[in-house]
Chains A and B, each alone.
Chain A
Amino acid sequence: MSEKFEVKLIGIENVEQMTNVHLSAFSNNLLSQLGFNVVKRYYEWQFTDIDKYNKKIYALGVFELENMVAFSVFGMARNAKIGFLKKNWSFLMMMVIIKFYKIKFNHIIEVVKNFKYFVVKVLVSSNDKVLRIDNNEDNIYGILVTACKQEYEGRGFGSILMRRAEKVARENKAVGIKLSVRETNEHAWKIYEALGYIKVVDDLGNWVGNSMIKKL
């Protein structure tokens, strides 16, 4: 067996390494544009606030010796970014103002286009709704994020982490596992399809909310 890479359970003590992986994997996303401390706070929040709802969050990392090269966070909560936005609204607004020069035009367009969605989700809904705690959804797990450092892409670490997540979900009697992926990220959603995930579609066959689900 290859001893170079190892999969381990990770926790809040690994947040700085997770942040570095996130910044490498998603260098262009809005959270990354806001900087290391914002991304770090996002993952700290995942390990702390979501746990307050007694919904266990799991995280697994792929390590090359002590260096984390990929990770996945999953569990009984979904829509983590909206929950994070709601709980950290003022901090994020301050960071947006400070880092405004770094925010790309396409991110501004995206926020404007989704303004109604943000208002409803962030300002109006309760925390429970924001976090989509799935008491009524027959124990469906969600994959909050799977990230891999750019220089380690193409080695199948994402698939390995996803399958481990599915195993944990099955052990916890979950009947399904869900994720969301950008439609433009064709490489990612094709991998998810290969792993058995199917797109959630409406009656007209339109892809709903960029969601994919796998029956366990």
Chain B
Amino acid sequence: MKTIILNVINEIKVNKGLETFSEAMISNDSDLRNDLGLDSLDLAVFTVKIEEETGVDVFETGIVTKFGEVLVKLENS
């Protein structure tokens, strides 16, 4: 699951011509906005892509802001 989330984030980064993240650069405490640099458009793409990949709407039952929170949502679904 961690790889799926990371791949989606990196796909967004690549499409914007930005540098990608390795697993070592990300922790569960990484904030999607402040640490991983996802803006509101990126977050829209992120939500849709994660749902396409996993069938889970990570924001359906609450607001998540950190990488680890997304991971928990996916693992518990």
Stretch with Cβ within 8 A of B (4 or more), from A45-53, A76-84, A113-121, A149-157: A149-157
Q: Does B36 contact A (CB under 8 A)?
A: no
Quick check: A159 and B63 within 8 Å, CB to CB? Answer: no
Quick check: A2 and B41 within 8 Å, CB to CB? Answer: no
Chain B residues closer than 8 Å to A163, beta-carbon distance: 47, 57, 59-60
Give the docked Cα–Cα distance between A163 and B43 (Å). 12
Chain B residues closer than 8 Å to A153, beta-carbon distance: 40
Q: Does B45 contact A (CB under 8 A)?
A: yes
Quick check: B63 and A2 within 8 Å, CB to CB? Answer: yes
Size bracket of the B interface: 20 to 34
Q: Does A194 contact B (CB under 8 A)?
A: yes
Chain B residues closer than 8 Å to A62, beta-carbon distance: 63
Chain A residues closer than 8 Å to B69, beta-carbon distance: 1-2
Give the docked Cα–Cα distance between A5 and B66 (Å). 13
Quick check: B72 and A156 within 8 Å, CB to CB? Answer: no
Instruction: Name the one of A5, A7, A156 contacting B40, with C-beta atoms under 8 angstroms.
Output: A156
Quick check: A187 and B41 within 8 Å, CB to CB? Answer: yes
Which chain B residues in 45-71 approach chain A with CB under 8 Å? 45-48, 57, 59-66, 69
Chain B residues closer than 8 Å to A196, beta-carbon distance: 48
Quick check: B39 and A159 within 8 Å, CB to CB? Answer: no
Instruction: Name the one of B43, B45, B47, B62 contacting A155, with C-beta atoms under 8 angstroms.
Output: B43
Quick check: A155 and B65 within 8 Å, CB to CB? Answer: yes
Quick check: B62 and A1 within 8 Å, CB to CB? Answer: yes
Q: Does B44 contact A (CB under 8 A)?
A: yes
Known pairs A155-B33, A159-B47, A163-B57; A191 contacts B40 (CB<8 A) = yes
Known pairs A155-B33, A194-B45; A4 contacts B65 (CB<8 A) = yes
Chain B residues closer than 8 Å to A160, beta-carbon distance: 47, 59, 63
Instruction: Name the one of A2, A158, A167, A190 contacting B65, with C-beta atoms under 8 angstroms.
Output: A2
Q: 5 interchain pairs (CB within 8 A)?
A: A1-B73, A154-B40, A158-B40, A187-B40, A194-B41
Residues on B lying within 8 angstroms of A by beta carbon are 32-33, 38-41, 43-48, 57, 59-66, 69, 72-73
